[in-house]
Structure 1
Amino acid sequence: MARLVMKFGGTSVANIERIKNVAQHVKREVDAGHQVAVVVSAMSGKTNELVGWCKDASRLYDNREYDTVVASGEQVTSGLLAIALQDIGYKARSWQGWQIPILTSDAHGSARIAGIDGKNLDEGFAHGEVAVISGFQGVHEATGRITTLGRGGSDTSAVAIAAAIKAERCDIYTDVDGVYTTDPRIVPKARRLDKVAFEEMLEMASLGAKVLQVRSVELAMVHNVRTYVRSSFDDPANPQAGTLICDEEEIVEQQIVTGIAYSKDEAQITLRRVADKPGVAAAIFVPLADANINVDMIIQVVSDDTTTTDITFTVPTADFERARAILESSRDKIAYQSLQGATDVVKVSAIGIGMRSHAGVAAKAFKALAEKGINIRAITTSEIKFSVLIDAAYTELAVRTLHSLYGLDRT
């Protein structure tokens, strides 16, 4: 009997009516002959409420107790869904992360999964039981403390469980019916994709597409877990297929560009007239790394006299002020003349495994953007994507321009 993992996000379980709707989706798959494990998030808005309570209780709260509090949201949902399934005549029980157990590191608030023992779930499946699992959480074995996996951790839980129990696939149910070529709110002609390669989805997720959490895609790729993105708001009796995230070998027709993503979570920092000498890059970027500030795009422009250089890079908007303070405190060591910053910037990216075998893909974009009067502040490329940093005011124009340029408007 094939095994299936179904994951439902916060909007899908936002109230009792929606939890009963989820139960109907689960019923359909059990009736089709699957052994089903369901992973649930907390009800929409509940995690934010619990985080707020921790902050109200203390400005400097203990992260271990924080995890105990915020993990309770998923516990409520798993219990309610088990009750809803029992009410329609199906065997079901709730499982917390520590009961399975899902073993993690001790990085409270952002723990990483170390291993999952699926033996207890196997026993339940043998008795025809649906496993309803609290996502986002696990346990640190040495201390026995509850841990949480960070924002979006329920997606990661679902894929990890699918790998552990050797599920046929993992269905991620959300409030959209799949992965689109770009944000339909910006480009009404955006199309739902039937299939997306793991590598493409990983780039999309890391570059601003919010359909799946990055760590879940990484896990799916490593363990080759076929993952569908589907809508919980479809009719449970007649759901849409959604988008399959899979190995690129399953995709027969590979487009040059699969999708256009954008991220507003970008801030630009430029250090002017930095001494051009060995060790200067380390002096800039090591302190930022020590402060857990992720640096993305990096551009270095050497002056005509080759004695100084301008270095431009981007950091998450939330880390802009911290990064600036760190660099200003290291001014004498780095020896730069001035520091300039901007937060009104956006990163727009084109992603596609077809880029590997086609030349000039990025050059076409640069020309098209120039014709629209859009100035490019920075560029980064990889084997299957390129990104440009532009002024935020041009976001929608840039996304529409690139979406049309690569034929993604066509049905």
Structure 2
Amino acid sequence: MALIVQKIGGSSLADVARIRHAAERVVAEKERGNDVVVVVSAMGGQTDQLVAMAQELHDRPPGREMDQLLASGEQVTISLMAMALMQRQQHARSFSGGQVAVHTDGVSTRARITDIDRENLRAVLEAGGIPVVAGFQGIGPEGEVTTLGRGGSDTTAVALAAALEADECHIYTDVDGVYTTDPRIVPEARRLAKITFEEMIELASLGSKVLQIRAVEFAGKYSVPVRVRSTFDDGEGTLITVEEEDMEKALVSGIAHNEDEAKVTIIGVPDRPGIAHAVVGAVSRENVNVDMIIQNQGEHGKTDFTFTVPRSDYPLVMDTLDPVCKQIEAEALTGSDRIAKISMVGVGMRSHAGVADRMFEALSREGVNIQMIATSEIKVSVVVDQKYTELAVRALHEAFELDKPVDERDHIH
């Protein structure tokens, strides 16, 4: 008998019919002889509706009240799912995050899990029952309701799987696994049977929307095998697990793209110590994450400094840096919020040379100009004009033959 944690997302719980269907998935796993813990999100669209109502009523809704409000979404689905399971003669019991208890720090709307009590869930499992747990929420040090931020239900599921030493954590969603790239851009994209934690973390951070990066980081830290599956179709999905020897056969596992990017360039910056700190420090104090950074070798004691930030933060960053540029005597501040980052990821890059060159050649053939480049051990990222996003993704998918099984690809040696 295995212990499986099943997380069911909001799109799979959007109405009563879908809740019934999701319950059948839970019962099927139970009838295979496995113990099951279910983690649910709010019904599809409900969280957005609650946020919209809060913003209509208050210019800056207080964090504590937002936690109270947003946690109500999962309160609805745990009860409805428990009822659907009971109707199928299952002993089910619903739990809020506080009732489990999922302990968090006290940061409103973006809390982090610090510990999880196991006793209440273990008691239901030992009685042959199915605990149904509210994802996305917990309880802070002062007994206050806390929420984990967007995608927090994935994190709850993986954390419970780690705490209960589950055999696997299944993330049920509206896609049937992790693909070599977005199938909406490349219909020939292939579903991956397996991918490493390291590769999935990179893909999640680079724009893949299948899983939240926090959940994958948690899974990798505690070695919790995660399987992404479809609520609506049968299939094994994609297993996210530790790196195995045969995984290096795949030169590139996937291509991610992110259009939620903006580029900022400071021209003619005095080339002296402390300039990078003055620029990046000012942006960081506004709680804006800086991503790719390039500092060009300048002439006559001047240099150019370029970096990327989330597109939604672009106006704030430009306003913040205007006085900074005057202070450091820069010649000009420019930027663009019409860029995209295209990234290739694969653990096979560690043992193969020439990946970046092959990438640049493929983009050059299509007339796609590269504005910035960043590399790591298992990824190569480039920034291009946003209008070339789909063209670049298709060109790279074809160049690296990702539509073919790994053994049939033309590898670089």
Under TM normalisation by the shorter chain, which class is it? over 0.9
TM-score of the pair, normalised by structure 1: 0.97
Report SS of the residue matched to 1:271.
Answer: strand
1:208 aligns with 2:191: no
1:393 aligns with 2:387: yes
Distance apart, 1:304 and its partner CA: 2.8
Q: Distance in 2 between matches of 1:118 and 1:57?
A: 38
- Aligned pairs for 1:69-80 (under 5 A) are 69-80=69-80
1:366 aligns with 2:360: yes
Q: Which residue of structure 1 lines up, in the alignment, with residue 121 of structure 2?
A: 121
Extract structure 1 runs of 4+ deviating beyond 6 A. none
1:130 aligns with 2:130: yes
TM-score of the pair, normalised by structure 2: 0.97
Q: Which residue of structure 2 lines up, in the alignment, with residue 279 of structure 1?
A: 274
Q: Which residue of structure 2 lines up, in the alignment, with residue 177 of structure 1?
A: 176
1:233 aligns with 2:259: no
Distance apart, 1:370 and its partner CA: 1.1
**Which of the numbers 300, 304, 315 marks the counterpart of 1:310?**
304
Q: Which ranges of structure 2 fall in alignment gaps of 5 or more residues?
A: 406-413
Q: Which residue of structure 2 lines up, in the alignment, with residue 61 of structure 1?
A: 61
Worse-matched range after superposition: 252-261 or 310-319: 252-261
Worse-matched range after superposition: 125-134 or 245-254: 245-254
Q: Distance in 2 between matches of 1:376 and 1:318?
A: 22
Q: Which residue of structure 1 lines up, in the alignment, with residue 33 of structure 2?
A: 33
Distance apart, 1:49 and its partner CA: 0.7
Alignment-mate amino acid for residue 282 of structure 1: H
**Which of the numbers 317, 331, 334 marks the counterpart of 2:328?**
334
**Which of the numbers 311, 335, 345 marks the counterpart of 1:351?**
345
Report SS of the residue matched to 1:225.
Answer: coil
Contact 1:136 1:148 in 2 (8 A): yes
Distance apart, 1:250 and its partner CA: 6.8
Distance apart, 1:252 and its partner CA: 4.7
Q: Distance in 1 between matches of 2:155 and 2:40?
A: 11
Alignment-mate amino acid for residue 375 of structure 2: T
Alignment-mate amino acid for residue 232 of structure 1: T
Report SS of the residue matched to 2:321.
Answer: helix
Relative to structure 1, the CA distance from residue 149 to residue 174 in structure 2 (aligned partners, 3 Å threshold; closer, same or farther) is same
Report SS of the residue matched to 1:98.
Answer: helix
Contact 2:255 2:343 in 1 (8 A): yes
Q: Distance in 2 between matches of 1:34 and 1:211?
A: 26
CA RMSD of aligned residues (A): 1.0
Q: Which residue of structure 2 lines up, in the alignment, with residue 98 of structure 1?
A: 98
Q: Structure 1, residues 283-328: CA drift from partner, whole Å, max 9, x if none? A: 00011111111111111112233x0000111000000011111101
Worse-matched range after superposition: 245-254 or 319-328: 245-254
Distance apart, 1:33 and its partner CA: 1.4
Contact 1:169 1:225 in 2 (8 A): yes
Q: Distance in 1 between matches of 2:88 and 2:359?
A: 54
Q: Which residue of structure 1 lines up, in the alignment, with residue 408 of structure 2?
A: none
Q: Which residue of structure 1 lines up, in the alignment, with residue 151 of structure 2?
A: 152
Distance apart, 1:333 and its partner CA: 2.5
- Aligned pairs for 1:197-276 (under 5 A) are 197-234=196-233, 239-249=234-244, 251-252=246-247, 254-276=249-271
Report SS of the residue matched to 1:393.
Answer: helix
Distance apart, 1:404 and its partner CA: 1.0
Count of residues in Structure 1 that have an aligned counterpart in Structure 2: 405
Contact 1:267 1:342 in 2 (8 A): yes
Q: Distance in 2 between matches of 1:368 and 1:56?
A: 48
Q: Distance in 1 between matches of 2:242 and 2:375?
A: 22
